[in-house]
Amino acid sequence: VEIIGAGKAIINLDDGSAVRLNSNSLVILSSLDPKQVVITNEKGQIYTRVMPGERAFKVKVGNSVYQSMGTAYKTVNEARLKGVEVYENKVKFTGGDKKEVTVEAGNKYYELNELDRKAEKVVIKIAKTDAAKDTFVKWNLAEDEKMTEETVSSTQETGEGGGAASADNSETASEEAETPVLSLSGSAVDNGVSLTWNVGNLDVSSGVKLVKSGEINPVYPGNDYVYISDSSVRSYKWAIMDGKAYYFRVCQYLNG
């Protein structure tokens, strides 16, 4: 994905993580493997908001790698400036010389800084004045806040994580709770698994995709899938005869 000239772009990943591009920036999705995501920052400024999880999440800048530890951070790949600014949690930097540096939230590390050689290859604080003037960072922090609000709202509505949906007693709240937007259940049958799903009020006029993986949280694209084009279908038998354990997910299909 490339932004030519002024502009911004957001790439939303399956696990809720987001990759955001600034003006005159280019990013390559080098790997969306369920075990490891690799984003290559070819040029410009890239901000990644990474959801905590088991899979590794890395941003490459040249021969250097910035690995997230459940993090929000900006990487820079410009002619005179290359490095990272960390705004949440921490990032592990590994350079081409195999040198490793851990950069905590509120700090930055530039492996190349022709604008200020004293700030090159050292961990330093992000000045509040610099952050206040950085319109790309301000935009990203606002987007992060939106994501947090949406997650909290969704958690409260579904009752996940022990959050209360309202001040009503639990019995009343349970009676009034809406049908889940999308849910999946399965049971073992001869030579396979019988899957049944509920779409609630979700529009599945273009069908759904069932995704299967040997790892938790299967993703599309990346794992085996079956496309069910008939929007009225609510069940499917997936033939499996290898004796292994699998995870499944049902996804709303949006024509690409």
d(CA 31, CA 39): 7
Tens digits of residue pLDDT in 126-136: 998 888 899 99
Q: pLDDT tens, 94-120?
A: 987 778 999 999 999 999 999 999 999
Report if pTM > 0.75: no
Confidence class of residue 180 from pLDDT cuts 50, 70 and 90?
A: low
pLDDT tens readout for residues 136-179: 999 999 888 877 665 544 444 444 433 333 333 334 334 334 44
Structure tokens at 142: 């606002």
- What 3-state class would DSSP assign to 151? helix
∠158-161-162 over CA atoms, to 5°? 85
Q: Is 89 helix (H, G, I), strand (E, B) or coil?
A: coil
User: What is the CB-side half-sphere exposure of residue 8 using CA atoms within 13 A?
Assistant: 12
Greatest mean pLDDT among 74-78, 192-196, 223-227 lies in 74-78
| 42-95 pLDDT tens trace | 999 999 999 877 788 999 999 999 999 878 999 999 999 999 999 999 999 998
Q: Which residues pair with 19 in a beta bridge?
A: 11, 48
The bridge status of strand 36-49 relative to strand 56-61 is parallel
Give the chain's mean pLDDT: 83
Residue 157 — left, alpha, or beta (φ > 0 → left; ψ -120 to 50 → alpha)? alpha
Distance separating alpha carbons of residues 118 and 95, to the nearest angstrom? 19
